[in-house]
């Protein structure tokens, strides 16, 4: 069995008897101090930072902000240990102790970041384990040997060599870039929401475009980090792009239509629109479709391209004010001015009806059984429904008409029954006898047109 001195000599360390115990004790104390500083920063500064992010960035606790305090604490410990390592030429054993603290800090920090961006506990633990192994291998001088062993497990295709090391490099690159993209998008979203220079539509447009730019930039950075030569895939990428162009024509069209909708601001989140049989307010404008929530609570996903090619009725395009009309008829013996005044009062009693423009009531015609009126009033919240406010005003009109004794007529028909004329009651006179020639005419039968009798 290999002794500790032989193991230390194999890893490039001096004999354990030659270790400077005082310096090792100082390194241990500084390592413990680093962990204590991290805990203190987490309790004091990290908690405040998490509360600030909850209120400013997201408005509600999220995975990343929930891990903010822990990330700040371990980052403080990591920075302190790094400064201590760089500030003094430590004894190899003391340096190993500080490197262990550094490796633990990096591993835990990576785990909190990966959980915060939503990769899950399994991937986060795997990433933390890989970071711990890499940092400990570097501390004992075995990183190059570990890389050589990982690179030896693989195969070659042409001039390219695929190994376990290259797979780990690809995985780490993807995880790192994905984490950077998620964090960058969230920070950018917070900055856009905190700006007063843009309206909600412009904020959404900038957020979508910035997200696409960040993803494209991360893709090309990853290609460069992995050392992939794109010229080798020129022909393949051209054919793939042509196939995608035909297969995803509608998707690209919806994407461009969505960007145009956000740029010209013809449809904005919160607008009340009517598209075909769909009526509701716009919840959000996505990359592929617009989400429209109806009064029934159903969410319709309408492709962006349909909103560009079909007729769209936007109730809040230039103004959110919408005029509502109600048809009411009263009896002919009604005091019309009183009825009109009561209908206007019924409209004004509704909290959703605007005071300016004021409700008005006009006579629209003299019907068969009623004097027809039209009550008109304005609202600014059509997303709250039109049928419900009509029903409320109708009910209020009914109550007021009942109190004032005003009748709402319905069609009526008068039926007059007359006696039969005296001539109609007399018996029918006997018919005259037929002449002598009539039986002969009847016997001959009808004469054929245009010719003699066939007999």
Give the pLDDT confidence score for residue 235 in this predicted structure: 61
Give residue-wise pLDDT tens across range 115-164. Answer: 877 777 787 888 888 888 777 777 666 556 666 776 777 777 666 667 77
User: Within this chain, do residues 31 and 170 fall inside the same structural domain, yes or no?
Assistant: yes
User: Cβ distance 280 to 295 under 8 Å?
Assistant: yes
Do 348 and 200 sit in the same domain of this protein?
Answer: no
Let me know if residue 202 belongs to a domain.
yes
157 assigned to some structural domain: yes
Last residue of a domain, one of 186, 210, 234: 210
Query: Is the domain of 41 the same as that of 184?
Result: yes
Q: What pLDDT does 342 receive?
A: 94
Q: Does residue 72 belong to any structural domain of this protein?
A: yes
Asked if residue 251 belongs to a domain, the reply is no
Element of type H or E holding 290: strand 289-293
Residues 79, 176, single domain; the answer is yes
Is the Cα torsion angle 148, 150, 156, 159 positive or negative in sign? Answer: negative
| Predicted local confidence at residue 14, as pLDDT | 52
- Given pLDDT bands bounded at 50, 70 and 90, which one contains residue 376? very high
Q: Measure the CA–CA gap between 328 and 310, rounded to whole angstroms.
A: 35
448 falls in which pLDDT band (50, 70, 90)? very low
pLDDT at 447: 47
Which residue, 255, 286, 314, sits at the end of a domain? 314
Count structural domains, the chain.
3
Does any domain span residue 446?
Answer: no
For residues 181 and 297, state if they share a domain.
Answer: no
pLDDT at 179 (0 to 100)? 79
Hey, what are 243's tokens? 């196939």
CATH number, domain at 269? 2.30.30.60
Q: How confident is the model at residue 221 (pLDDT cuts 50, 70, 90)?
A: confident
The reported pLDDT for the residue numbered 310 is: 80
Evaluate whether residue 121 is within a structural domain. Answer: yes
> Could you tell me if 349 and 390 lie in one domain?
yes
* 256, part of any domain: no
Does the pLDDT value for residue 361 go beyond 90?
Answer: yes
Worst-scoring range by mean pLDDT, 117-126, 326-335, 382-391?
117-126
Whether the model clears a pTM of 0.85, i.e. scores above it, the answer is: no
**Residue 445, both tokens:** 């039968």
Angle made by CA atoms 252, 258, 264, in degrees to the nearest 5: 135
Domain identity same for 339 and 196 = no
Which helix H or strand E contains 263, and what residues bound it? helix 249-264
Are 37 and 127 part of one and the same domain? yes
Helix (H) / strand (E) containing 291 = strand 289-293
Give me the residues paired with residue 161 across strands.
Answer: 156
HEC string of 163-214 equals EHHHHHHHHHHHHHHHHHHHHHHHHHHHHHHCCCCCCHHHHHHHHHHHHHHH
Print the domain residue range for 11. 7-210
For the ranges 8-12, 109-113, 418-422, the lowest mean pLDDT is seen at 8-12
User: Kind and range of the H or E element at 10?
Assistant: helix 4-10
Note whether 298 and 176 are same-domain residues.
no
Give pLDDT tens digits for 36-81: 998 888 887 776 666 665 554 444 456 666 777 788 888 888 899 8
Position 332 in a domain: yes
One domain, residues 327 and 196:
no
Cα 408 to Cα 256: distance, rounded to the nearest angstrom: 55
Do 18 and 51 share a domain, yes or no?
Answer: yes
Residues 270 and 399 both lie in one domain: no
Using only C-alpha atoms, the chain has a radius of gyration, in whole angstroms, of 44
Pairing between β-strand 272-275 and β-strand 313-314 as defined by DSSP bridges = antiparallel
Answer with the one of 210, 236, 257 that is the final residue of a domain.
210
């Amino acid at each position: 069995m290999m002794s500790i001195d032989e193991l230390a000599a194999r890893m490039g360390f001096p004999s354990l008897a030659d270790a400077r115990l005082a310096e090792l004790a100082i390194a241990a104390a500084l390592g413990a101090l680093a962990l204590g500083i991290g805990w203190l920063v987490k309790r004091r500064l990290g908690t405040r930072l998490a509360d600030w992010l909850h209120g400013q960035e997201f408005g509600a606790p999220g995975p990343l902000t929930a891990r903010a305090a822990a990330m700040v604490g371990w980052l403080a410990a990591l920075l302190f240990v790094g400064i201590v390592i760089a500030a003094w030429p430590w004894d190899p054993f003391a340096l190993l102790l500080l490197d262990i603290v550094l490796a633990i800090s990096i591993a835990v920090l990576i785990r909190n970041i990966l959980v915060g961006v939503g990769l899950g506990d399994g991937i986060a633990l795997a990433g933390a384990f890989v970071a711990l192994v890499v940092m400990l291998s570097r501390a004992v001088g075995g990183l190059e040997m570990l890389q050589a062993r990982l690179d030896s497990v693989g195969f070659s295709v042409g001039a390219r060599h695929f190994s376990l090391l290259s797979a780990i490099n690809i995985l780490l690159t993807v995880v790192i870039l994905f984490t950077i993209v998620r964090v960058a998008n969230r920070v950018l979203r917070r900055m856009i929401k905190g700006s007063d220079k843009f309206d909600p539509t412009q904020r959404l447009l900038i957020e979508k475009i910035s997200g696409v730019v960040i993803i494209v930039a991360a893709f090309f950075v990853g290609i460069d980090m992995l050392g992939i030569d794109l010229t080798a895939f020129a022909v393949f990428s051209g054919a793939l792009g042509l196939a995608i162009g035909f297969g995803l024509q509608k998707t690209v069209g919806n994407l461009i239509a969505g960007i145009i909708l956000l740029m010209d601001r013809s449809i904005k989140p919160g607008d009340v629109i009517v598209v075909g049989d769909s009526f509701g307010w716009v919840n959000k404008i996505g990359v592929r479709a617009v989400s429209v929530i109806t009064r029934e609570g159903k969410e319709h996903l309408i492709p962006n391209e349909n909103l560009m090619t079909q007729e769209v009725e936007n109730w809040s395009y230039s103004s959110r004010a919408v005029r509502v009309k109600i048809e009411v008829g009263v009896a002919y013996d009604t005091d019309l001015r009183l009825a009109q005044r009561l209908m206007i009062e019924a409209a004004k009693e509704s909290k959703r009806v605007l005071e300016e423009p004021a409700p008005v009531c006009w006579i629209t015609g003299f019907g068969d059984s009623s004097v027809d009126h039209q009550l008109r009033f304005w609202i600014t919240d059509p997303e709250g429904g039109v049928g419900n406010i009509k029903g409320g005003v109708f009910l209020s009109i009914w109550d007021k008409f009942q109190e004032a004794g005003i009748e709402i007529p319905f069609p009526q028909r008068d039926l007059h029954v007359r006696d039969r004329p005296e001539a109609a009651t007399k018996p029918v006179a006997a018919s005259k006898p037929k002449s002598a020639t009539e039986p002969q005419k009847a016997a001959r039968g009808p004469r054929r047109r245009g010719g003699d009798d066939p007999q």
